[in-house]
Structure 1
Amino acid sequence: MKIQHNTLNSISITIYGETSEKVYLYLHGQNGNQEEAAFAAKILTTKGWQVVAYDLPEHGTRKNSSEKFVPWEVIPELKNLYQTLKQNWTTIALYANSISAWFSLLAFADIELDHCLLVSPVVDMEKLITKMMSWAQVSEVQLEQEQLIETDFGQTLSWQYLTYTRTHPVTNWQIPTKIMFGENDNLTSLAEIRTFAEKYHCQLTVMPGGEHWFHTEEQLQFLSTWLNKA
């Protein structure tokens, strides 16, 4: 598989595959990096696609970036990146993981993508934040007063983030989409993902016993089989 390293909008990117008019934009999840795209690219490049992957703010090569891993900075960045991709490829599709799926639902709602593949997508960030608040036993009043609260499970609760989700709900998604979801995903419930899939006419595949993070040999094989079919 051909691998190139380049820059787009002054950001380091990795391009997988031979020259093509078709490209997937690969977006990793929290704590991920652009190198993760190699797994999917091994399959997607055999179908005639190239894959462009890059590190989101505060990840990988951008670990110490001035940009932050928050929607009000990531979403404009994704919109700008898409416009740059349009100058180099005629057909653009999306492969997004976890929180990046939610970023994408907001960034690309009114943009023409050929199709989308979403893996363990977060589809309702407000619900996820309030779930984490309950895990940490933090009330809305407390969060509003303190603005930022560190949790013992590694997440920082943010009042600004919560209010952003409430003023920027996902209300439109018309792009043909296929979803891979683990039955035991602890961030999004099965009922929640089914409701989203039905509302926006997405093709949903559920791995029995699967988790949010597909990482075991069995899970990766299931994901590989799905990706080949998708």
Structure 2
Amino acid sequence: MKDKALVYIHGKGGTASASEQFKSIFPDYDTYGFDYKSETPWEAESEYKEYFLKLAEKYTSITVLASSLGAYFLMVSGTGVMIQKALFVSPIVDMERLIQDMMKHADVSDEDLKAKCTIHLPEGEVLSWDYLVWVRNHPIVWNVPTFILYGEKDHFQSLETMETFAEVIGADLSVMPNGEHWFHTDEQTEFRKRWLIRFK
């Protein structure tokens, strides 16, 4: 067993098995895919802590490669003290803004959401008052050395939002021209590979 672990944390709708593609990039690490089940940040808080506590017992160094919602859950779970380095791809760094954008697009006010508690949107997303209140009461506190890869055409978080977040936590921010939130094309995955090799 190696003394370093790489943990891949997928975004919403992703799979832990995607961790396989990163093994060749991180040959000096034991690579894991974290198949979390949480759908809310308060569920993630306990699930992530339990997972990383067990891992920290076996490894002296833990690096995390996290995408989108998985990165957000990580940052609000309180597990940062167990992680030596974070590599984020398209992380959600301002969940309140994202929810507010969804509400604005659906013409839903704070009062509407509070009154109904949950609102199901036509595209399948669900707005939750409890979720929004939790997010507002639990701002991100993150002190781990962090490297961020962002796609220029990400439709979930603006470049300004990402730049502000990176500046606040002292993260290194790389932007892929014409990149998207999901790095899925051959060109995008090759760009991500070169980025990972550079900052691993």
TM-score category of the 2 structures, normalised to the smaller one = over 0.9
Paired letter, 1:36? A
TM-score w.r.t. the length of structure 2 is 0.95
Matched residue, 2:138: 168
Paired letter, 2:143? Q
Match of 2:93 among 115, 119, 123: 123
Superposition deviation, residue 36 in structure 1: 1.3
Gaps of 5+ in 2: none
- Given that residues 102 and 121 in structure 1 are in contact (C-alpha distance below 8 angstroms), is that contact kept between their aligned partners in structure 2? yes
Match of 2:74 among 104, 111, 115: 104
1:35 and 1:109, CA in 2 relative to 1: closer, same or farther beyond 3 A? closer
- Given that residues 109 and 173 in structure 1 are in contact (C-alpha distance below 8 angstroms), is that contact kept between their aligned partners in structure 2? no
1:110 and 1:27, CA in 2 relative to 1: closer, same or farther beyond 3 A? closer
Matched residue, 1:208: 177
Matched residue, 2:154: 185
Q: CA offsets, 1:125-178, max 9 Å, x none?
A: 1111011111211111111111111112221110110000011011x3221110
Superposition deviation, residue 211 in structure 1: 0.5
What is the number of equivalent residue pairs in this alignment?
199
Matched residue, 1:39: 21
- Secondary structure class of the residue paired with 1:88: coil
Percent of aligned pairs with the same residue? 37
Matched residue, 1:21: 3
Matched residue, 1:154: 124
Which segment drifts farther, 98-107 or 156-165?
98-107
Superposition deviation, residue 109 in structure 1: 5.9
Q: CA offsets, 1:88-134, max 9 Å, x none?
A: 21211111100111111112465142110000000011111011111
- Given that residues 52 and 79 in structure 2 are in contact (C-alpha distance below 8 angstroms), is that contact kept between their aligned partners in structure 1? no
| RMSD, aligned CA | 1.2
- Secondary structure class of the residue paired with 2:184: coil
Q: CA offsets, 1:72-93, max 9 Å, x none?
A: 1112110111110012212111
For 2:78 and 2:149, how far apart are their aligned partners in 1? 19
> Runs of 4+ in structure 1 displaced over 3 angstroms?
none
Gaps of 5+ in 1: 1-18, 58-67
TM-score w.r.t. the length of structure 1 is 0.83
- Secondary structure class of the residue paired with 1:210: coil
Superposition deviation, residue 228 in structure 1: 1.0
